[in-house]
Amino acid sequence: MPDATGLELIAQRVREKVGDEAVTGTLYYRRHATLDVAPSSVRDVIAYLRDGEDEPWERLMSVHGVDYLPEEPRLGVHYELLSMERADRLNVRTRVGTDEPRVPSVVDLHPTADFQEREVFDMFGVVFDGHPDMRRILMPEDYEGYPQRRDFPMGGEPVIYTYNEPQLPRWYD
Amino acid sequence: MKAQQLLRGELEGEDLEREVEQRLLFTKFEEAQNWARKNALFPLGFGLACCAIEMITVVGSPRNDLSRFGAEVIRFSPRQADLLILSGRVSIKMAPIIRRLYEQMLEPKWVIAMGACSSSAGMFNNYAVVQGADKFLPVDVYVPGCPPRPEALIYGIMKLQDQIMGDPAMGWRERYRAEGTEEVA
């Protein structure tokens, strides 16, 4: 991981090359460097980190969705970049609200993002603009709702233990 | 020697009685048919999850050697198979496909729910997994375990053979009150 100073230098270069409003913050925590970016400039930042002159982050290892329920904006998308040259990792993350969860797609830069963005769409409902095939990938195509959101019901059936058997009388019917 | 005499019609009286008793076997046609069916179960080559690996070691490997019990020929077409082993958790996306495979199998057909997941969803008490395969399929035998021991699955298959051989009231149509859904012969 780049150290705290290296992270600030990366953030500085991104601000210069992509735009001042692109970077909303940095986080260096337990030797993990994270760059917070505005959702509209995710694609530009990742394109710069891939192709920029001093930037070695040529690989996208994974895309994650997160739901920070009490906080606003609720949904987060995390990108984990890897540099084979420096054997080093950098996280890029962004936050969008549930009312209009739109993030530009990075599939044209990193083809591996195809299925992973579909999974984030399937589980969290984040729409990736510019994705060639924005469909559900894990759940059935007629499924309603985004099951990994924290306000989504867990599903399943009540399981009978001795402690809750009195609350479910005649469950065996 | 006696057999020759029997065929020639030379035996008489007590000799004839004893010879017939020893050499001839009478049975009902249904029982002979069931005996043939139980000893020629063709499982469908179909796996769902981690139990599939265990199912393969039971059905396919010489270590457990299911051919001892007459059920080892795996058929990869549902048209030729008559036993569906549900080995693993059934996701709600997979359920219609399994139902379709089951519909494509020819009568008579049997289903074994192998493991905790396909019997009752096991630990997957959530939005993505069908809570027990008997929600959409008539299941004949449930084998518990996570995964079941090979012996357990073999015992389940032998239980199914007993069921095929034995009481027709053990059939799923009676248990699920589905009389009248037989395919037209």
Q: The domain that contains B77 carries what CATH number?
A: 3.40.50.12280
Domain that holds residue B68: 44-173
Query: For A110-128, how does the pLDDT look when each residue is reduced to its tens digit (9 = 90+)?
Result: 999 999 999 999 999 999 9
Give the span between the Cα atoms of B133 and B111, in whole angstroms: 10
ipTM exceeding 0.85?
no
Cβ of A159 and B93 within 8 Å?
no
Q: Å from A74 to nearest chain B CA?
A: 22
* Domain presence at residue B102: yes
Chain A residues 116-155 with CB within 8 Å of chain B: 138-140, 143, 147, 152-155
Q: How far is CA B139 from CA A25, B68, B83, B120, B171, in A?
A: 57, 24, 11, 12, 10
Indicate the residue of B93, B121, B127 with minimum beta-carbon distance to A154.
B127
What total number of domains does chain B contain? Answer: 1
- Ordered by start, the domain boundaries in chain A are 4-129
The answer as to whether B100 is a domain residue is yes
Nearest to A89 by CA among A111, A62, A57, A63: A57
Q: Report the alpha-carbon distance of residue A21 to residue A11 in Å, rounded.
A: 11
Residue among B97, B87, B85 at smallest CA distance from B51: B87
| Residue B74, domain member (yes or no) | yes
A159 contacts on B by Cβ (under 8 Å)? 125
Token reading at B6: 């029997």
Omega prior to B147 cis, within 30 of 0: yes
The three-state secondary structure class of A48 is helix
Q: Using only C-alpha atoms, what is the Rg of chain A?
A: 20
Query: Which one of A139, A141, A146, A172 would you mutate to disrupt binding with B, by most B Cβ within 10 Å of its Cβ?
Result: A139
Residue with tokens 């179909």: B46
Give residue A78's pLDDT: 94
- The answer to the question of residue B5 being in a domain is no
Is B93 in Cβ contact with A154 (below 8 Å)? no
- Residues in chain A predicted with pLDDT less than 50, given as ranges, are none
The 8 Å CB, 24+ separation contacts for B174-178 are: B175/B138, B176/B138, B178/B138
Q: List the single residue in B with minimal CA-CA distance to A158.
A: B125
pLDDT of residue B116: 92
User: Min CA distance, B34 vs chain A (Å)?
Assistant: 34
Spatial CB neighbours of B90, under 8 Å, sequence gap ≥ 6: B48, B98, B117, B118, B129, B130, B133
For chain B, list residues with pLDDT below 50: none
B interface residues, A as partner, C-beta within 8 Å: 92-93, 121, 124-129, 131
Cα distance between residue A39 and residue B38, in whole Å? 63
> Coil, strand or helix: which one is A101?
coil
Q: pLDDT of B101-120, one tens digit each? A: 999 998 888 999 999 999 98
Residue A144, Cβ density class (10 Å: 0-12 exposed, 13-18 middle, ≥19 buried) = exposed
Q: What is the pLDDT of residue B99?
A: 92
Nearest CA in chain A to B96: A140
* d(CA B126, nearest CA chain A) in Å: 4
**CATH number listed for the domain at residues A4-129:** 3.30.460.80
Q: What is the pLDDT of residues B148-165, one digit of tens each?
A: 999 999 999 998 988 888
pLDDT at B152: 93
B140 lies in a domain? Answer: yes
Please report whether residue B158 resides in a domain: yes
